[in-house]
Structures are given as structure tokens and as C-alpha cells.
Chain A
Amino acid sequence: MLGITGGKVFDPINGIDGRLMDIWIKDGKVVPEEMIDKSEAQIIDASGKVVMPGGVDIHSHIAGAKVNSGRKMCPEDSLRLLRPRSQITRSGSGLTVPSTHLTGYLYSEMGYTTVMEAAAAPLVARHTHEELEDIPNIDKGVFITMGNNHFIMKCIRDGELGKAKDYVAWLVGAAKGFAIKIVNPGGVENWKYGKNVQNLDDEVIGFGVTPRQILTTLGQINKDLKLPHPLHIHGLRLGQAGNVDITIETMELMNEFNGHFCHVQFMSYGGERGSLPQSASKKIAQAINEKSGVSVDVGQIVFGPATTMTSDGPAQFSLHQRIGGKWINDDLESESGGGLAPLTFKRNNPLHGTMWLTGLEIFLLVDDPWKVFLTTDHPNAGPFLGYPQVIRLLMDRDYRTREFERLHTKAKKNALLPELKREYTLYEIAIITRGGPARRLGLKNKGHLGIGADADLTVYLPDDDKEEMFSHPAWVVKDGEIVVKDGHLVREQPGRTMYVSPNYDPQIEEDIKAHFKESYTISFENYSIRSEHMGPNEKISCD
């Protein structure tokens, strides 16, 4: 039993904006005060401090084949952050692609308790789950890439939408995924022929379907299966000048199905095609503000080293062509593709400055904080350790102005940012880092401190320097146990992997078996991941 008393609580899901209250915890859950025997409860005196639910990250790349390729390709990254083992923790290394245990420690020390791994092809999901099991102190889930899946595209071509629905339900359960991820629908498949898609009605080679069909079909299926999280969409033409129009068009298309658009900063550029991208934050923010079914996470640039990794093979190739250096291209049989390239975001680079501005402007121009969430698309736009700095940029206009002045003159020219006076409040920060993502993910027990919620919370020491405040929480509690004290890890414990397993017509398995015989390098029997082979896990119901 644990009591956190006298703290100023920010719990947006329950509408609590800085009220002094006590939080009581028993058996890993938030409980009413009456259920606590105070003579036995451990008390954390939080008076003068800020209490928030544990952080929830809606989009981060922390585990699996892709991240591991990054670790292998970038041994230099392990010199950027090194941690020797201690009495209670293992050693680890890496800043943009930290090793598994270290990933858990770093998130935990920042006050985060739930993190979503944003992309795994089903074929390599087993590896992802094995790594997730090794990431302590946070709960997690995996999004399964389906936007270039041969079986689904065949179903769409043949008009067998019922079959597609059963297959998707089977697939997300087989991969023990939490949500459906779409990456550059059709474009990743076309990349196998050295091509891409530029518009929603371009043809996917060999299937005769279009990105539009893939998006709407999976949108409808996501709705029919009542998955907790709406479609998680990485759209077309990532990183290209002028891509804001296709992003808005995709938002219009997906509004009725509900859609979460990830790392939208990379998808919100103006300017002529082929020229240097410009910020189109005003346009994209207006679209987000107008559409009730759309939410975004930003993918804010953090200056310094990054390792870009996506399933978007063609986007990674064009990035590699621009910057040179190391590059990995990946092909995942009949499911997906991918690529990686390390890169450093530099303050004095005009393009990087523009990307930085675009992200911050989107944060400040989207009116409803429940629709925009804090991410750096770790490690694509920078490591998650940059969150406290981004929070400071949002909360402190003077700091923002000073950082803006340090950009390249070309990036500063005509920039909108200096005009934006808005400063985020602690309540709004609690929304974009906790309540918002948890609600959008459909996690009923996360992101708030109401009765019955998971006892995941963070106590911060107020500080005018918000970066300092959010870097080193005074206490972090996970499942009712104190895991961090004074910014240091004091306890390592396993976290749970959350997954969904929607119902499907078992008849579909015959079709899938035939598909495996025809197209897969592994047998049907070895494909599905059984929950008993996972670490601690939790099935989230679909209703």
C-alpha cells in the first residue's frame, strides 16, 4: 500500500487541473482512501510537488529487427551513452538505439510507464516480443504493419472484404499486436520494382489496387473489429516538399474511419516538389482542427544524432541519397519492407531548422491538445531523451525564441514560430504526454489516476527550467512500486506486453495455410506467437 499525499495533481482524463489531492494505491491499482490501512501504508510526501499519471508514448521504435539492425549498423552510437551495471541494473549502451534493458531504464527515469513500439512486420514480430520482454519498468504494445500485405491486397483486388477482415483479425492476434499500422500503402510494395506511389489512386504493381483502397479497407476493418486504437497511419511521400496536400487528402479520406497520423511533422511540408521543403504547419493544423476523427503525434526534431528507421523503403532510399553514408534496405517477403540510415540533425542546417520549426508550429497551432501528442518518432527525429527539452520549448516562450535565433538564416526567413505566443500549461503537457495518447490508444487503465487505474504515476519537482523538471522526476511509481527516486532507478521489474486478439471465422485458416505454402519461407505452424511464449502479457478486449 502506498499513498502519495499533498501533491498538486494533473489528471486531464478526470478533469483534474492542479488540485491538491492524495492518491492511494493498493495491489497495483489506484483505490479509494477507505480501502487503505494508513498505519501500514508507505507515504510519499508530495506536498509542493506535481503529480501526473505515468507518461504514455504512442509512437516509438524500441524493439525488434529494425532497431537491432540500427544497433548493428551504428556501433558508434553505443559510445554516446554508456551505463555500467549497478547493484540492481544491467549495463547498457546507446543513445538513439539503446540496448533493451537500458531503454526501459531511460524511459522509467523520465517518468514514462507505457510505450508503444510503432512498427513490426508480423513475420518478425516474434523477435520484437522477445526484445520487449527484456525492456523493464514499462508496459508496451506493438503495431503490426499491414499496408503492403499481399494477402490483403489480393482480397481487395478480388472484392473479398469479409476474407480480408478475418485475415486481419487472425494476423493481429497471431503477431500478438496491439494495433494496425499502415506505412506508405502500396509504396513499399512498388519499391520492390524501384518505384513508389505519389497519389492515393496510383496503382500497386502486380495487384491493381490503390493506396486509397488499402486505407479505406483497413479503416473499415479496424472499425468492424472494434480495435481499441484507430488505424495508425504513416502516409504517402514522407519527407518530400509539398507533401502536405497528400497528407490532408489522406486525413479527409480517413476522417470517417478515425485515423491517427504519426510523426506528422515529416508529412507537413510545403514548397515545390523537389525543392527544399517549407513548413506548412498552418495548413496541416487547420486540417487537424477541422477533422474530428483525426489525431496526430508530431515526431519533433531534436538536434543531435538520430537513426532513421521505417518500413518506408523508398523514403529511406531517397534520404540516403541526400545524405550519403550508411544505409540498410530491407525486404520482408510478402508483408513489408524497410530501411535505415543514421543521420545528425544540425541546428545550422537550413532543412533541419525548417523541420524543427514545422514540428513546434504544429504543437502550437493545433487548438485541441487531445489531438496532438508528444513524440520524436524515436529514434527518427531524435532520441526520446529529448522529450523534456521539447516540453520546455512548448512551455517557455523566451527559451523558444532563444533557440529559434540560433537557427540558420534561411530557416528563420518567413518563419511563423516567432509570432506564436502560446505557452503550454502543465495541464496541457499532461494531456499530450499522458491522457491524450492513453485515450487515443483505448487504454482504459492508463494515462489517468482515477479509481481502478493502473498505479503508474510520476511526481515532479517544480522548476522554472521545465527541461530539468521533466528530466529528473522525484518519484516514479509503476504498478504500485517505487521504481525511480530522485531521478535514479531504484527498482527493476518486468512490464507487460498488451495485445489484442479479435475474433475471426476459423475457416480463414485454410486459405492462410495455402497462402503460406505458396509465399512464405516459414511454415504456418511456426508463425503464430502464443501468449505462453511471451513474457508478462495482458490481453486487451475489443469492445
Chain B
Amino acid sequence: MGCVSCVGFNQEIAGIKDDIVLRLKEPTTIPIEAESICPDLFVKRSYREIYDLPVYYGRRKMRLGELFSIDGEKSDFITIEDDVSNVKKIGSKMTSGKIVVHGDVGRHVGASMAGGEIVIRGNAADKAGINMQGGLLWIKGNAGHQTGSALPGENKGVNHGVIIVEGNAGLELGACMRRGIIAVLGDVGDFAGARMIAGSILVFGHLAKRAGAGMKRGSIISFGSSEPLLPTYRYEAIVQPVFIGILLKYLKELGIVFESDMTGKSYERYSGDINALGKGEIFIHVKS
């Protein structure tokens, strides 16, 4: 059951030379808001221009180069060394290119991103991939609350894109999701897929309480253990859906290696949330 690490990843970055390497000059406890760490902004800029990009250091507006050492220029591949767990909004709104963070990362990483790829080798704080519109967000460690959910106040969230969390994810994973795929290899917190409109959430560890609360459409698939579902979910039948096999194949192609062959397994299908439209479905893997 479950799966292991991604093999392709290390090989892939080993071959690339012309990345721009960012390193925090000094550790700080003051939150940094760095929407400007984005391949779209880096790709055509010289060292000097990247240096001058705006960031917020607390409430103070500063230049990127004042806080980070910058090695390289004019590339859409950004590597961030060390821990940047108090740097927010890295890669938000990006549409192409790639960011690799070799440590923990702060809130809102990949928020509203529309394309390209972000890889976090450590943990991600809350709201990673919130309101994602496309692209790939791969978190090797754990993810915080509201991963892949909607912006505050909005009732539609992720619309296209793939989020993979190799560790655990917090509360409200994929809430208000509209389209796309979210796969968590570890456990998830309460309210996964709450108020979902469509899309797929795959959970390989433990699925906590109130999954799919207020869900209209979409699929939540539990491969591991699960809390009892809400009473507003109705048991339908034991099924062997083809689409789950296709989803797993797709994830395998992205580089996830599963320990055992997951295809052709049986699932209990529940439909709900009948408090909402009720056209959503939760699949619970039947242990043989």
C-alpha cells in the first residue's frame, strides 16, 4: 500500500546548469512576502533587474537582492537553497518555468499559479497551491492547512493543475476545488474536499472526519484508512472504476512509484453530500 519517493526528480535537476540560485542572506523571523520570486519575472531579467524586484520585508518594501544572494540571470528555472519557511507567495501566479526549494517553504507557495512546476523538498506551510489554475506543485514533505483550497471568501478554488503531497496534509485540503488532481501520500486532516465542485482528491494515508462536506460533484478516493463518513453520504455499491486506474497510471508517469499494483481493486462507493447537490462521490478501498 502507499508509495515511495520519486526517482526521476534527482536525475532531472542534476542535468540542469543554467538555473538562478537564491539564498537568504541572513535568517530572519520577519515574514517576507516575495510574489516576485516567479520564473515569469526572472526569465528575461538581468542580474541587476532581478536584484531590484520588489519584496515586502514585514511591512517594508525592499529589493529582492537586499535579502537574497542571487546567482545567475535570465532563466526560468529558480533554485532556492536552505529553509525559506517565512517567505510567502513564492511562485504565486507563475505561468511557466520551474522553482525548486531545497527546504521548507512559507505560506501561499504556488498560490494562483497557472502553469510551470514547483518542487518543495521540505515542508510547505498553509495554503500551498491555493486557487491554483494549472501546473504542477510537488511537496516532498508535509503540507499545511487549506492546501489547494480557495482564496478566502471565494466559493471556487483550484481549477486545473496537479498537487502532490508526499507527506501529510492539514485541514480543508482541496476545499471548493473546481477541477484538477490532488494526491496526498500520507494522512489528511478534517474537511478534505469540503464544498468541492469537481475534480479528484486521492488520499493514500488516513482520511479524517467530514471529508466531502457540502460537496456538489467530484471524487475523493481513499486508499488507506478512513473515519466514518458524514451521515449525508449514501452507500451505493462495490465498484471497480476504470478512471481510478487511469488516474494512478497518470501519477506513475509523473514519477510516483507505488509499492503494489493498485489497478483493478474494488472500492465502496458513497454518494453525497446530499445536503448540497449530492452528485459527489467518495470511494473507499476495500481491503482484501
Report which A residues bind B (CB closer than 8 A).
73-77, 79, 84-85, 325-326
Contact = CB atoms under 8 A, between A and B. Distances in A.
B217 to A, nearest CB: 15
A76 B154 contact: yes
Contacts of A326: 153, 155
9 closest A-B pairs by beta carbon, nearest first, are A76-B153, A75-B153, A75-B152, A76-B154, A74-B153, A76-B151, A325-B155, A76-B152, A79-B151
A84 B153 contact: no
A376 to B, nearest CB: 22
Contacts of B59: 85
Contact of B61 (A75, A76, A84, A325): A84
B153 A73 contact: yes
5 contacts: A75-B151, A75-B152, A84-B61, A325-B155, A326-B155
Nearest to B61: A84
B154 to A, nearest CB: 5
A79 B93 CA distance: 13
Contacts, number: 16
Nearest to A72: B153
Contacts of A75: 151-153
Contacts of A85: 59
Nearest to B155: A325
A75 B150 CA distance: 12
The B contact surface, by secondary structure, is: loop
A535 to B, nearest CB: 26
Nearest to B112: A79
B1 to A, nearest CB: 39
A326 B152 CA distance: 13
Contacts of A77: 153
A446 B178 CA distance: 51
A512 B224 CA distance: 67
Contacts of B153: 73-77, 326
A148 B59 CA distance: 46
Nearest to B59: A85
For chain B, give the interface size range: under 10
A125 B141 CA distance: 52
Interface in B125-174: 151-155
A367 to B, nearest CB: 44
A75 B151 CA distance: 9
Interface in B30-87: 59, 61
Contacts of B155: 325-326
Nearest to A85: B59
Interface in B150-203: 151-155
B158 to A, nearest CB: 15
A326 B155 CA distance: 9
Contacts of A73: 153
Contacts of A79: 151
Contacts of B152: 75-76
A283 B155 CA distance: 40
B2 to A, nearest CB: 37
A69 to B, nearest CB: 13
A128 to B, nearest CB: 24
By CB atoms of chain B within 10 A, which of A73, A75, A76, A326 has the most? A76
Contacts of A325: 155
A5 B7 CA distance: 75
Nearest to A73: B153
Nearest to A84: B61
A515 B153 CA distance: 40
A388 B155 CA distance: 31
A85 B152 CA distance: 23
A85 B59 CA distance: 9
A168 B151 CA distance: 45
A73 B153 CA distance: 7
Interface string B98-110: 0000000000000
A18 B152 CA distance: 49
A70 to B, nearest CB: 11
A541 B147 CA distance: 59
Interface string B195-222: 0000000000000000000000000000
A72 to B, nearest CB: 9
Nearest to B154: A76
Nearest to B56: A84
Contacts of B154: 76
A332 to B, nearest CB: 25
A76 B176 CA distance: 14
A85 B154 CA distance: 26
Contacts of A74: 153
A84 B59 CA distance: 9
Nearest to A79: B151
B114 to A, nearest CB: 16
A75 B152 CA distance: 6
By CB atoms of chain B within 10 A, which of A73, A79, A326 has the most? A79
A428 to B, nearest CB: 39
B35 to A, nearest CB: 11
Nearest to A77: B153
A75 B127 CA distance: 15
B196 to A, nearest CB: 16
B58 to A, nearest CB: 12
Contacts of B61: 84
Given A75-B153, A325-B155, 14 more contacts: A73-B153, A74-B153, A75-B151, A75-B152, A76-B151, A76-B152, A76-B153, A76-B154, A77-B153, A79-B151, A84-B61, A85-B59, A326-B153, A326-B155
A79 B61 CA distance: 18
Contacts of B151: 75-76, 79
A325 B155 CA distance: 8
Nearest to A74: B153
A129 B152 CA distance: 29
A104 to B, nearest CB: 21
B44 to A, nearest CB: 25
A75 to B, nearest CB: 4
B241 to A, nearest CB: 30
B247 to A, nearest CB: 30
A84 B56 CA distance: 10
B187 to A, nearest CB: 29
A79 B153 CA distance: 10
Contacts of A84: 61
A14 B59 CA distance: 49
B156 to A, nearest CB: 10
A304 to B, nearest CB: 16
B40 to A, nearest CB: 19
Contacts of A76: 151-154
Nearest to A91: B59
A86 to B, nearest CB: 10
B92 to A, nearest CB: 12
A73 B154 CA distance: 10
Nearest to A324: B155
A75 B154 CA distance: 8
B171 to A, nearest CB: 18
A326 B59 CA distance: 32
B233 to A, nearest CB: 22
Nearest to A325: B155
Nearest to B54: A84
Nearest to A76: B153
A481 B16 CA distance: 60
A15 B137 CA distance: 65
By CB atoms of chain A within 10 A, which of B151, B152, B153, B155 has the most? B153
A76 B151 CA distance: 7
